[in-house]
Chains A and B, each alone.
Chain A
């Protein structure tokens, strides 16, 4: 945890009303950059490939950021971060949808029969598609009413699917790179997501060791 004085000033800053809209706009910058590049022809000789790949990269990046919110909040004592978590989670879904749209439109010409064949035939596509379905489930239950209706416990259990999604997303990326034995980037994302999951396991285990009523 940060020392009390800097923590308080950071928290005061994080509590400012402008922070949430600011993060919202920042999270849209990658999409704006890609769209601008596509329109002005600055995505290189194969813009379709660039759009499919970059949207996938940004999905993974936002997944790392969204999953980092809680560990950072608890270990640095930055409570106001909590209110950014849902929005960042929804941006994971947003970029995953863009990734799927880019693939369906630019690679498959929006031919649903071809997309269906691709999903059925290729494990690498199937894994990506399943993670998208799981993500849409989480996005659909992301509003406050859904928590009330499902009950906090069931809601939390459902949203633990994000770890499964993280695993599937890494597998999807791993298979994409497997033939070229080019795992450097895959390893970086796997390490980050692994560390974030590891932190949670450790955190839970530690909390069990503590007498009840106390929490770190």
Chain B
């Protein structure tokens, strides 16, 4: 019997809706127990307990994508360019021991072991929409906490304006590191205010379990209002800088991928429209693609970060 058969989907979905209806005020800052806590875990990897997040906008009401789809349709070019490659090849990734070096323009640079990171702040479950720049989307229940919790520990200096994320590039365990597709290691970056936004998540798991390797174990970024590639996987280094850091896809094709890469239905990719998307596992083959929302639907939460900016120019 599969774990998911114990509680019928409508039951737990109703339960979730009910809990959300009570709102954060009634439940306090702790949050209700995660719906993925027991009954609905996929039962594939070790459990990772979390409480439902109380951060505004963190609990999408959209139906979560099947775990099977979310863990078998991935872009993780260190393990191959086909979306089935990471699930096939990422088993070689060694996630213990793991450390993340945090430095640059900060008062307290430090290297955090994975165990320290897991204990740094209480784990929250967040159900985010994920919009890939390629025109498909998923809804994923992540487990982690706001990146700002880590940022607070290292105390950025006044001249720090950006945060750079560098990910593992180990040719011994990652067969496609060294291919000419991208510059390795994969680099991503955020403006400091974006990195400090409570929705910017440092994620350690999904679906109530630790992160699958193909999804960026053991620790990755999730920035739900930006295209998926901004959410760097398997992070080993975080650096605070004064100048805008170079990012992997921007270096590979600057006219196609900007530094900001906010989800924006009005700014097309040169080779396809970004106005619509296909929700994986949800939209039937002949269904019309659904409309993509500005900032992937997170405009109420993040719109003010870009007030007055020309988003056609800073795509």
- Which A residues have a C-beta under 8 Å from some C-beta of B? 38, 44-49, 51, 105-107, 109, 114, 118, 121-122, 124, 175-176, 178-182
Q: Which of B68, B181, B273 is within 8 Å of A180, CB to CB?
A: B181
A-B contact number at CB 8 A? 52
A106-B286, A175-B271 known; A48 vs B181 contact (CB < 8 Å): no
Q: Which of B32-40, B92-100, B141-149, B277-285 contacts A (4 or more CB under 8 A)?
A: B277-285
| Contact indicator A182/B253 (Cβ below 8 Å) | no
B13 at the interface (CB under 8 A from A): no
Query: Which residues of the other chain, A, contact B73 by a CB distance below 8 angstroms?
Result: 44-46
Given A44-B73, A45-B73: 5 more A-B contacts, CB < 8 Å: A46-B136, A46-B280, A122-B272, A181-B252, A182-B81
Q: How far is the CA of A67 from the CA of B68 in the complex (A)?
A: 42
Q: How far is the CA of A181 from the CA of B249 in the complex (A)?
A: 11
Q: B residues near A, CB below 8 A?
A: 68-69, 72-73, 81, 83-84, 136, 180-182, 252-253, 256-257, 268, 270-273, 278, 280-281, 285-286, 288-289
Residues of B within 8 A of A179 (CB): 252-253, 256-257, 271
Q: Is the CB–CB distance between A38 and B285 below 8 Å?
A: yes
Minimal beta-carbon separation of B208 from chain A (angstroms):
20
The residue that B280 contacts in the complex, of A45, A105, A121, A122, with Cβ under 8 A, is A45
Q: A181 contacts B181, CB within 8 Å?
A: yes
A49 CA to B83 CA, complexed, in Å: 11
Determine if B285 and A106 form an interchain contact, defined as CB atoms under 8 angstroms apart: yes
Q: Across the interface, which residues of A come within 8 angstroms of B281, CB to CB?
A: 45
Pick from B83, B84, B270, B285 the residue with the most CB of A within 10 Å: B285
Q: Are A180 and B285 in contact (CB under 8 A)?
A: no
CB <8 Å contact, B270 and A46? no
From A48, A106, A175, A180, contact of B81 by CB (8 A): A180
Question: Chain A contacts of B286 at CB under 8 A?
Answer: 105-106
Q: Determine the residue in chain B with the shortest Cβ distance to A47.
A: B285
